[in-house]
Amino acid sequence: MSTNQRKIGGDNNKRGNRYEDFFVVFRLIEYSPNVITNGQEVRLKEQAACPVDDLLVVTPTSHRFHQLKAHKTITWSARDHKLTRKFLAQKAACQQIGQACELIVVVAEPAREKSLNANMPAELADCMTVLLFPELRQPSQLVRRQDVNDALGEVYAGRRVSVSDYQEIVRALHAAWIEHTPDSDGFCVLGEVIKTIRQWGVGRLRCDWSDKPEGWEEAAAILSETPGLTWWVDRGYFD
């Protein structure tokens, strides 16, 4: 009996870790356009030593605290209102230091999203979001989400794109997240994740081409006069 229980616990832990990792990749994709095109600093931390601790995302203008609940029975009142108490404690901690925050509970089931929204405690309504994020078998399935496709369209280096191009970027972000080295405060820095992907040479990511090579103006003039040739360099690549 005990062996089976350990196996069930191990399987559940793997499932939970996979769910959390795939959600982090979702957030990495979401923030990548601003990091790549505007140089925004984005930092992420799991188990952030605060009341709502599954994932903290920090930008210069926001703190987003996430609790991830993939199981089908989560409610605000379960286990002596544990979920409610967590989020109220986080809200109070942010208010105490004058920090604006967004509180997010992430669920895998549409029924849980509907229930949590319908029964949200009034004290949390001003800063609380319930986000539906279904379970995936592999990170590349993220490209099925329209919001992910929009962000990937901004960070992909080319204009002609296929599903496999986007999937390659998603897999690269997943691998770089798994292998990242935290900064001195224990955060993952998205800019460093993107730098790692470029060093690996996988997943064609957009970049700024501010320094034109010597002779570029002459070459551009010749290309422009070539009949039937379409080309561009606005995403950091000659294509």
Q: What is the pLDDT of residues 137-162, one digit of tens each?
A: 999 999 988 889 999 999 998 777 88
- Are 204 and 158 a contacting pair, CB within 8 Å? yes
What is the reported pLDDT for 233? 66
CA distance 177 to 96: 32
What is the reported pLDDT for 237? 61
**pLDDT higher than threshold 60 for residue 114:** yes
181: alpha, beta or left? (left if phi > 0; alpha if psi -120 to 50): beta
CA distance 204 to 197: 9
Residue type at 229 in one-letter notation: L
CA distance 13 to 21: 12
47: alpha, beta or left? (left if phi > 0; alpha if psi -120 to 50): left
User: CA nearest 179: which of 197, 154, 191?
Assistant: 197
User: CA nearest 56: which of 68, 73, 39?
Assistant: 68
pTM score of the predicted model: 0.84
Token pair belonging to 25:
């990749």
**pLDDT higher than threshold 70 for residue 14:** no
